Amino acid sequence: MTAAPLRIIHIVRAPIGGIFRHIADLALAQTRAGHQVGVICDSSTGGAFEDAAIARLAPQLALGLARFPMRRQVTPSDLRSALRLYRHIRDLSPDVIHGHGAKGGVFARAIGTILRMSGKKVTRIYCPHGGSLHYDPARLEGKIYFALERLQQRFTDGLVFVSDYEYAAYEAKVMTPRAPARVVYNGLSPEEFSKVKPDPDAADFVFIGMLRDLKGPDLFIKALHRLKSDQGLRPRALIVGEGDDHTRYESMVRDYGLTETVQFTGPLPARDAFRKAHCIVVPSRAEAMPYIVLETVAAEVPLIASRVGGIPEIFGRYADRLVTPGDANELAGAMAAAYADPEGMRRRAVGQRQCLSETFNVELMSDRITSLYVTIREPKPRGATTGAEAPAFLSTGALAESKAQTVRRKPE
């Protein structure tokens, strides 16, 4: 705990997936460190699974968990939401407002700036979590988002990136950060580093993630179809998750004649899903630093994943085994190899888990983010300049290579 406990508010639009997992873990770790923490999120997103997670989190937060309507796209209703958010946050008297994702970042910096204009010492922090950084800078939508990000740099006191890739993407698509910036990997709790064994009736392959094309469930289904049509293989598979495109993926399964071997389960806790799998498949087209990959590796469960975002940073020396994003044929080849050699996949899973706990640790994550708050809030010597910090986990060579990959890569 720092000498002076902080009042911290985290804002995110959608209380779902890895981004909300990150916020919940961070909020609880900061609470354990003696800070007073609150969370604000959208009231119209999520289902029973998310509602249960929110109900578990809320009583543990000194500043509570409030929900307000927040749409994904920018709309006139944002002004009404912003006013309600402002009044709520003003009454909490925060020291730090930490926005997560594009929409959370807009609200955090706008409200923090208004509070500063009224004389409050509020620190404004932003973490993209991928989000708008996945847009193509050559397209109109990307140009608009990145122009807005450049504008908001004026109202940003600090930036947090969850992977070296995300930092490099921000530099390449937005600008070199003017505010202090720090790369802080997502962290797991000690109990998550225990091995999960598959149930006797576990499926051969399990997809876990939001049911939207960005996460690649369509590629997973196409790969299963390739295994059946090209190689005569009929592995059992589960699709774990929920999303607006659920019905479309069910139609794909029917059209490909896979209904006897592919089932949809809805969302499940990650470790419950792991017990239902001999191999997890994460065929994302874009990511920042996905928790599901971290959790799978920590649980020593065999994994096939795509070469996007921060996933190579997790795989380390095994990164050459990642598959090309968006390539259903290559994904099918990797799944066929795993299906033919399950023991080899298990040995690889043991190797991948080594050293993960030292780098991807929830208490380390909290300490590095909270210490950034404290550093920014400390009085600066007269004449001192404020600039972006070199990311602690990032060597100059790694950053250069990551930036090069960012520029070369075309968003899906």
Please indicate, yes or no, if residue 312 is contained in any of the structural domains.
yes
Please indicate, yes or no, if residue 1 is contained in any of the structural domains.
no
- What is the pLDDT at residue 212? 95
pLDDT tens per residue, range 250-294: 999 999 999 999 999 999 999 999 999 999 999 999 999 999 999
Lowest mean pLDDT among 162-176, 341-355, 363-377: 341-355
Are both 224 and 331 inside the same structural domain? yes
- What is the pLDDT at residue 400? 36
Are both 277 and 353 inside the same structural domain? yes
Name the average pLDDT for the chain.
Answer: 90
Are both 67 and 151 inside the same structural domain? yes
DSSP for 334-387? HHHHHHH-HHHHHHHHHHHHTTHHHHSBHHHHHHHHHHHHHHHHSPPPTT----
Residue 376: how many CB atoms within 10 A of its CB? 17
Please indicate, yes or no, if residue 391 is contained in any of the structural domains.
yes
Mean pLDDT within 145-169:
96
Q: Give the residue from 332, 357, 382 where a domain finishes.
A: 357
Are both 156 and 73 inside the same structural domain? yes
Q: What is the helix, strand, coil percentage profile of the chain, to 5?
A: 50, 15, 35
Are both 135 and 255 inside the same structural domain? no
pLDDT tens per residue, range 27-60: 999 999 999 999 999 998 888 999 999 999 999 9
Are both 342 and 273 inside the same structural domain? yes
Q: Which tokens is 23 given? A: 């916020």
Please indicate, yes or no, if residue 2 is contained in any of the structural domains.
no
Between the CA of residue 381 and those of 4, 122, 242, 372, what are the distances in Å? 20, 19, 51, 17
51: domain CATH number is 3.40.50.2000
Please indicate, yes or no, if residue 80 is contained in any of the structural domains.
yes
The total number of structural domains that make up the chain: 2
Mean pLDDT within 154-167:
97
Q: What ranges make up the beta strands (E) of 128-232?
A: 158-161, 181-183, 205-208
pLDDT tens per residue, range 213-240: 999 999 999 999 999 999 999 999 999 9
Are both 156 and 86 inside the same structural domain? yes
- What is the pLDDT at residue 74? 66
Are both 321 and 302 inside the same structural domain? yes
Please indicate, yes or no, if residue 400 is contained in any of the structural domains.
yes
**408 pLDDT exceeds 90?**
no
First to last CA, the chain: 43
**385 pLDDT exceeds 70?**
no
Q: Give the residue from 357, 372, 400 where a domain finishes.
A: 357
The helix-helix angle for 164-173 and 140-152 (nearest 10°) equals: 100
Dihedrals φ, ψ of 184, to 5°? Answer: -130, 110
Are both 153 and 29 inside the same structural domain? yes
Q: What is the pTM of this model?
A: 0.87
Are both 51 and 127 inside the same structural domain? yes
Q: Which tokens is 160 given? A: 């947090």
Residue 315's domain comprises 191-357
Are both 163 and 136 inside the same structural domain? yes
Are both 224 and 119 inside the same structural domain? no
Mean pLDDT within 77-98:
92
Q: Give the residue from 357, 375, 396 where a domain finishes.
A: 357
SS3 412: coil
